């Protein structure tokens, strides 16, 4: 019995925590504006959950913070920069294209480009080998008269 | 007592796996067959012992034996029997045991089925599978044992987890267990984890045969590829099913309106799938043309290593946080194991390069061979991008000390163009002939699909024009429709040829065509499935709409042509120890009532964890996906909803099912193999006679 009471008390306490603060809808910034910014951010405590869908208390506070900043007339970029200044680059969903993190961007692109070049070289090499192979054995071809070869080719084409 | 038995079974399984690996190699090297047979028998016993271990854990979970630390960790009285049994793979210890059990099952099956046929390779197949298995059983045994129990220290009043009673301590059995993570309490639990594990473990079979072929100097022959073709397909099939089910589960449970979040664990699953797909295509070149022997070995080594790496990421959480290393002793052992097997296999391959000689010749750059190679490059490029993006946060922290996040925008931008190129290649690649493709002929067979896709795209552009003028979205639609139409056109061409030569009607011809060439047309069905999934991805990526807002009772929230009216909120206790807050809302489309939706928020009291359960109105055109994000606590007369309109998303699931059917058809080809072996072109008698007259 006591356990049930404790549990339901806990539940009530927790439901207070879990519920987002509900705001009156009075124009800008709307929830959609907040989410547009939040989508580009990750809070440091919830790995791999973007801020716009995260349900923890910390993330709700962040979203409230975004709302206040937007209401105060900040642009999206200013809000994002503010979070980067306070919590570091890890809040960015998309790593920056400058500095050390540019490696994450250009290495895959460079490797695919190199792969394409290597592939082209390999294929060209194989083709050259084939040409050499076709050019070399001429003696054997004499064994079969050309009419027969022509005929064979024609028949083969029919079958395939 | 029972759990001691489990522990001993596990210990003996470990010893036998080590013995089996050693005896297999020893027997083969010294040509003593009795050792090889003994190794096989030991491997079979390992499977029996691990089965026993799995059954004992399931028994503990079913009987709620909370004295066992694992049972106390992942099950609770509130959970149904079904969920308690699935909790076998709900935690670290159990899932490692389950992994080992599955792998030993694969090993036992291949040894029973292929024992006579591949006698020379078998000792080394035993060596590789049992070596891998010994590693996993070792982890289960020494680091993360599911049979460890709880003990109470009366002096310090502490609870200790240990296998054997520590001195002076008493057996401790908690009243109730922690229970499974709420997110895992879902019907999907029966599908996604086991299929993924079958996929991961299944790749050990082709890998083992490849290594065996390398060691015995037979890697230049196609035996290992022919023997393992269907095994590879099965592993790949299950990994594919695992991916699709995982996506569906995430869509139903995680409450962010999507199915793929480029999370490290998702990426870990995707990578072996990508290289495995490249492998499945690339072996065709070896079978048909005897080319790319080294490359295929590289691909299977990569696939196997990425499977192990995937298990490592999943089970240690190393990428989510770099500090997981200190928490789990498994991290370093995994890294060492992956490094040793990967480098060891590569070294072996280089040592055996002489046995892998093949004549690479190509008549034309425009040929099936080049298409396959380009496809391989794209798959590996995507794999590398995913791998690099997944581990980069770790590298960044090690090198510069800065923590960073690599989120979905990165993966979408980098892999998006590569995936688009793959879809294009998937559409036109199968039209290319081996050796040489005549350009004019290719143009002719592409003409109709090309025109068709152009028409589809133009119609889509006009239908959606005012709302979605995205050139990229239209390009995506064009690409997908081209791929789908070229594939469909292939079916039609094949059927028409049969209709003309055999006088069959269209459906009979199509049926015969597919039945006679299951591998080929199974493959085409897979391609169709991929095109369908790609359509879903295009819809999700470019046409998705979302809105969030707070509304009072009787008020509405609108997005696109849908309106959601909030009717009220109620709270009630649910099963599994959760408190449920459920909203009732009416959905209208273009002002007409469609249905009542009941999005919920379940709060798991013991775990202090909320789970958002979406309410979905699903149609082939779009899903309306409604989440209850928050509510006014006092009076309960206002709620915050988030509504996603996810166009075409059901094509992802339909495509997934098509894909699976295609794979089953392609794998179902025992008759074809035999026929292929005795297949000789037999000229018609008349033709032969007329030829001889020349």
* Predicted local distance difference test score (pLDDT) of residue B679: 37
Identify all chain B residues contacting A124, using CB atoms and an 8 Å cutoff.
365
Identify all chain A residues contacting B260, using CB atoms and an 8 Å cutoff.
none
* Predicted local distance difference test score (pLDDT) of residue A143: 60
Q: How confident is the model at residue B481 (pLDDT cuts 50, 70, 90)?
A: very high
Per residue in B226-272, pLDDT tens? 888 888 999 999 999 999 998 888 888 877 778 888 888 888 899 99
Average pLDDT, chain A: 76
Closest to B456 (Cα-Cα) out of B481, B420, B484:
B481
Cβ separation B388–A108 shorter than 8 A: yes
Nearest CA in chain A to B360: A126
* Predicted local distance difference test score (pLDDT) of residue B191: 86
Shortest Cα distance from B380 to chain A (angstroms)?
9
User: Do B231 and B117 contact (CB within 8 A), yes or no?
Assistant: no
Cβ separation A147–B694 shorter than 8 A: yes
Identify all chain A residues contacting B630, using CB atoms and an 8 Å cutoff.
19-22
Considering chain B, what percentage of its residues have pLDDT values greater than 70?
93
Cβ separation B550–A31 shorter than 8 A: yes
Cβ separation B256–A50 shorter than 8 A: yes
Shortest Cα distance from A43 to chain B (angstroms)?
10
Sheet holding B615-618, edge to edge: B545-552, B638-647, B622-631, B615-618
List CB contacts of B193: < 8 A, sequence separation 6 or more: B86, B89, B95, B242
- Rounded mean pLDDT of B540-547? 86
Residue B482 pLDDT exceeds 80: yes
Burial zone of A86 (CB within 10 Å; 0-12 exposed, 13-18 middle, 19+ buried): exposed
With tokens 């790995």, the residue in question is: A47
Identify all chain A residues contacting B378, using CB atoms and an 8 Å cutoff.
112
Length in residues, chain B? 694
**C-alpha R_g of chain B:** 28
Per residue in B570-598, pLDDT tens? 999 987 778 899 999 999 999 899 999 99
Mutate to test the interface with A, among B267, B289, B291, B407 (most CBs of A within 10 A): B407
Shortest Cα distance from B608 to chain A (angstroms)?
7
Closest to B521 (Cα-Cα) out of B615, B397, B430, B400:
B430
Cβ separation B362–A126 shorter than 8 A: yes
Shortest Cα distance from A48 to chain B (angstroms)?
6
Shortest Cα distance from A46 to chain B (angstroms)?
9
Residue B684 pLDDT exceeds 80: no
Shortest Cα distance from B52 to chain A (angstroms)?
37
Kindly report whether the peptide bond that precedes residue A29 is cis, defined as omega within 30 degrees of 0: yes
Per residue in A75-99, pLDDT tens? 999 999 999 998 888 888 888 888 8
Q: Between residues B170 and B617, which one has the greater pLDDT?
A: B617
Name the strand (E) or helix (H) holding A3. helix A2-18
Two tokens at B484? 């789908």
- C-alpha B56/C-alpha B73 separation (Å) is 16
Mutate to test the interface with B, among A36, A55, A86 (most CBs of B within 10 A): A55
How many helices and strands in chain A, by DSSP H and E? 6, 0
b/e for B294-311, b at 16 or more Cβ within 10 A? Answer: bbbbbbbbbbbbbbbbbb
Per residue in B333-357, pLDDT tens? 888 899 999 999 999 988 888 887 7
b/e for B406-435, b at 16 or more Cβ within 10 A? Answer: bbbbbbeebbeebbbbbbbbbbbbbbbbee
Residue B458 pLDDT exceeds 50: yes
Two tokens at B285? 């070149």
Mutate to test the interface with A, among B357, B405, B631 (most CBs of A within 10 A): B405
Kindly report whether the peptide bond that precedes residue B215 is cis, defined as omega within 30 degrees of 0: no
Mutate to test the interface with B, among A53, A135, A150 (most CBs of B within 10 A): A53
Query: Which segment of B271-285, B462-476, B553-567, B627-641 scores lowest on mean pLDDT?
Result: B462-476
Closest to B381 (Cα-Cα) out of B407, B346, B405, B417:
B417
Nearest CA in chain A to B387: A108
**How many contacts (CB atoms, under 8 Å) link A and B?**
174
The residues that bridge with B589 in the sheet, in sequence order, are B562, B592
List CB contacts of B361: < 8 A, sequence separation 6 or more: A126, A127, A129, A130, A133
Identify all chain B residues contacting A89, using CB atoms and an 8 Å cutoff.
402-405
List CB contacts of A100: < 8 A, sequence separation 6 or more: B396, B399, B400, B402
Q: Where are the alpha helices (DSSP H) in B517-669?
A: 518-542, 650-667
Identify all chain B residues contacting A91, using CB atoms and an 8 Å cutoff.
405
- C-alpha A89/C-alpha B404 separation (Å) is 5
Identify all chain A residues contacting B547, using CB atoms and an 8 Å cutoff.
31-32
Per residue in B600-609, pLDDT tens? 988 888 778 8
Shortest Cα distance from B35 to chain A (angstroms)?
45
Cβ separation A133–B601 shorter than 8 A: no
Residue B413 pLDDT exceeds 60: yes
Per residue in B116-149, pLDDT tens? 777 888 999 999 999 999 999 999 999 889 999 8
Mutate to test the interface with B, among A5, A13, A47 (most CBs of B within 10 A): A47
Closest to B296 (Cα-Cα) out of B214, B364, B240:
B214
Query: Which segment of A126-140, B291-305, B607-621, B626-640 scores lowest on mean pLDDT?
Result: A126-140
Cβ separation B381–A35 shorter than 8 A: no
- C-alpha B337/C-alpha B318 separation (Å) is 15
Average pLDDT, chain B: 86
* Predicted local distance difference test score (pLDDT) of residue B456: 87
Q: How confident is the model at residue B163 (pLDDT cuts 50, 70, 90)?
A: confident
- Rounded mean pLDDT of B292-320? 84
Shortest Cα distance from A32 to chain B (angstroms)?
6
Identify all chain A residues contacting B388, using CB atoms and an 8 Å cutoff.
104, 107-108
Mutate to test the interface with B, among A6, A39, A110, A123 (most CBs of B within 10 A): A123
Nearest CA in chain B to A9: B605
- Rounded mean pLDDT of B317-345? 71
* Predicted local distance difference test score (pLDDT) of residue B598: 94
Q: How confident is the model at residue B662 (pLDDT cuts 50, 70, 90)?
A: very high
Two tokens at B576? 């599994």
Cβ separation B392–A104 shorter than 8 A: yes
List CB contacts of A158: < 8 A, sequence separation 6 or more: none
List CB contacts of B190: < 8 A, sequence separation 6 or more: B82, B86
CA A69 to chain centre: 28
* Predicted local distance difference test score (pLDDT) of residue B314: 77
* Predicted local distance difference test score (pLDDT) of residue A1: 44
- C-alpha B537/C-alpha B648 separation (Å) is 8
* Predicted local distance difference test score (pLDDT) of residue B225: 87
Shortest Cα distance from A18 to chain B (angstroms)?
7
Cβ separation A159–B389 shorter than 8 A: no
* Predicted local distance difference test score (pLDDT) of residue B44: 95
Residue B466 pLDDT exceeds 60: no
Identify all chain B residues contacting A47, using CB atoms and an 8 Å cutoff.
320-321
- C-alpha B424/C-alpha B484 separation (Å) is 10
Instruction: Give the one of B361, B374, B392 whose C-beta lies nearest to A126's C-beta.
Output: B361
Name the strand (E) or helix (H) holding B644. strand B638-647
- C-alpha B667/C-alpha B380 separation (Å) is 24
- Rounded mean pLDDT of A62-87? 90
- C-alpha B110/C-alpha B104 separation (Å) is 10
Residue A30 pLDDT exceeds 70: yes
- C-alpha B140/C-alpha A13 separation (Å) is 39
Q: Where are the alpha helices (DSSP H) in B180-323?
A: 192-202, 204-215, 223-253, 264-289, 293-316
Residue B677 pLDDT exceeds 50: no
Nearest CA in chain A to B397: A90
Q: How confident is the model at residue B651 (pLDDT cuts 50, 70, 90)?
A: very high
Cβ separation A10–B374 shorter than 8 A: no
DSSP 3-state of B44? helix
């Amino acid at each position: 019995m006591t356990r049930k009471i404790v549990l339901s008390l806990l539940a009530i306490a927790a439901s207070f925590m879990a519920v987002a603060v509900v705001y009156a809808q009075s124009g800008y910034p709307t929830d959609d504006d907040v989410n547009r910014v939040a989508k580009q951010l990750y809070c440091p405590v919830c790995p791999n959950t973007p801020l716009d869908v995260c349900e923890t208390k910390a993330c709700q506070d962040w979203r409230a913070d975004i709302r206040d900043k937007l209401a105060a007339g900040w642009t999206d970029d200013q809000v994002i920069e503010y979070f980067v200044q306070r919590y570091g680059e890890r809040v960015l969903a998309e790593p920056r294209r400058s500095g050390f993190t540019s490696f994450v961007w250009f290495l895959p692109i460079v490797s695919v480009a190199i792969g394409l070049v290597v592939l082209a070289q390999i294929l060209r090499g194989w083709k050259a080998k084939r040409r050499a192979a076709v050019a070399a054995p001429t003696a054997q071809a004499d064994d079969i008269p050309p009419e027969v070869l022509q005929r064979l080719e024609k028949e083969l084409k029919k079958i395939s | 007592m029972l759990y001691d038995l489990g522990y001993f079974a596990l210990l003996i399984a470990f010893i036998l796996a080590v013995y089996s690996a050693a005896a297999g190699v020893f027997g083969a090297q010294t040509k003593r067959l009795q050792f090889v047979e003994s190794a096989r028998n030991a491997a079979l016993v390992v499977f029996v012992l691990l089965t026993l271990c799995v059954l004992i854990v399931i028994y503990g979970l079913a009987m709620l034996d909370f004295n066992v630390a694992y049972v106390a960790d992942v099950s609770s009285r509130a959970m149904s029997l079904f969920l308690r049994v699935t909790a076998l793979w709900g935690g670290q210890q159990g899932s490692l045991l389950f992994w080992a059990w599955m792998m030993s099952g694969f090993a036992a099956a291949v040894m029973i089925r292929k024992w006579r046929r591949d006698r020379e390779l078998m000792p080394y197949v035993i060596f590789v599978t049992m070596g891998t298995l010994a590693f996993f059983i070792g982890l289960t045994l020494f680091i993360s044992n599911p049979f460890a129990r709880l003990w109470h220290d009366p002096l310090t009043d502490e609870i200790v987890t240990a296998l054997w009673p520590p001195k002076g301590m008493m057996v401790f059995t908690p009243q109730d267990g922690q229970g499974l993570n709420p997110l895992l309490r879902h019907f999907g639990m029966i599908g996604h984890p086991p299929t993924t594990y079958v996929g991961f473990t299944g790749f050990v079979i082709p890998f083992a045969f490849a290594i065996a072929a390398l060691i015995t100097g037979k890697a230049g022959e196609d035996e290992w590829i022919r023997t393992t073709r269907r095994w590879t397909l099965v592993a790949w099939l299950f990994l594919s099913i695992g991916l699709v089910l995982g996506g569906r589960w995430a869509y139903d449970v995680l409450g962010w309106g999507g199915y793929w979040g480029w999370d490290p664990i998702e990426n870990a699953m995707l990578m072996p799938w990508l290289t495995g797909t490249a492998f499945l295509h690339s072996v065709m070149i070896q079978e048909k043309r005897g080319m790319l022997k080294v490359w295929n070995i590289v691909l299977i080594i990569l696939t196997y290593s990425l499977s192990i790496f995937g298990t490592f990421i999943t089970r240690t959480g190393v990428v989510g946080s770099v500090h997981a290393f200190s928490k789990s002793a498994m991290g370093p052992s995994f890294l060492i194991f992956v490094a040793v097997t990967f480098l060891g296999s590569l070294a072996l391959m280089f040592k055996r390069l002489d046995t892998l000689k093949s004549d690479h010749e190509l008549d034309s750059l425009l040929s099936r061979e080049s298409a396959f190679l380009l496809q391989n490059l794209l798959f590996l490029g995507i794999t590398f991008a995913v791998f690099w993006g997944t581990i980069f946060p770790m590298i960044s922290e090690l090198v510069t000390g800065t923590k960073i996040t690599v989120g979905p925008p990165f993966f979408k931008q980098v892999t998006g163009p590569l995936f688009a190129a793959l879809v294009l290649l998937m559409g036109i690649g199968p039209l290319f002939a081996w050796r040489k493709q005549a350009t004019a002929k290719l143009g002719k067979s592409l003409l109709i699909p090309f025109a068709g896709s152009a028409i589809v795209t133009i119609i889509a552009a006009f239908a959606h024009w005012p709302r979605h003028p995205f050139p990229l979205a239209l390009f995506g639609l064009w690409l997908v429709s081209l791929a789908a139409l070229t594939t469909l056109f292939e079916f039609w061409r094949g059927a028409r040829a049969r209709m003309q030569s055999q006088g069959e009607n269209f459906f009979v011809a199509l049926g015969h065509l597919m039945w006679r060439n299951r591998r080929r047309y199974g493959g085409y069905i897979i391609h169709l499935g991929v095109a369908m999934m790609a359509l879903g991805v295009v819809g999700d990526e470019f046409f998705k709409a979302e809105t969030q807002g707070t509304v009072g009772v009787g008020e509405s929230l609108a997005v696109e042509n849908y309106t959601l009216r909030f009717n009220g909120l109620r709270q009630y206790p649910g099963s599994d120890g959760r408190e449920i807050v459920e909203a009732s809302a009416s959905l209208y489309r273009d002002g007409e009532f469609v249905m009542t939706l009941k999005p919920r928020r379940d709060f798991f009291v013991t775990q202090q964890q909320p789970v958002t359960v979406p309410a979905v109105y699903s149609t082939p055109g779009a899903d309306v996906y409604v989440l209850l994000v928050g509510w006014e606590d006092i009076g309960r007369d206002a709620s915050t909803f988030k509504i996603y309109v996810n166009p075409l998303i059901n094509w992802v699931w339909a495509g997934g099912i098509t894909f699976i059917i295609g794979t089953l058809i392609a794998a179902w080809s025992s008759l074809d193999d035999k026929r292929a072996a005795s297949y000789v072109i037999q000229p018609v008698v008349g033709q032969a006679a007329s030829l001889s007259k020349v």
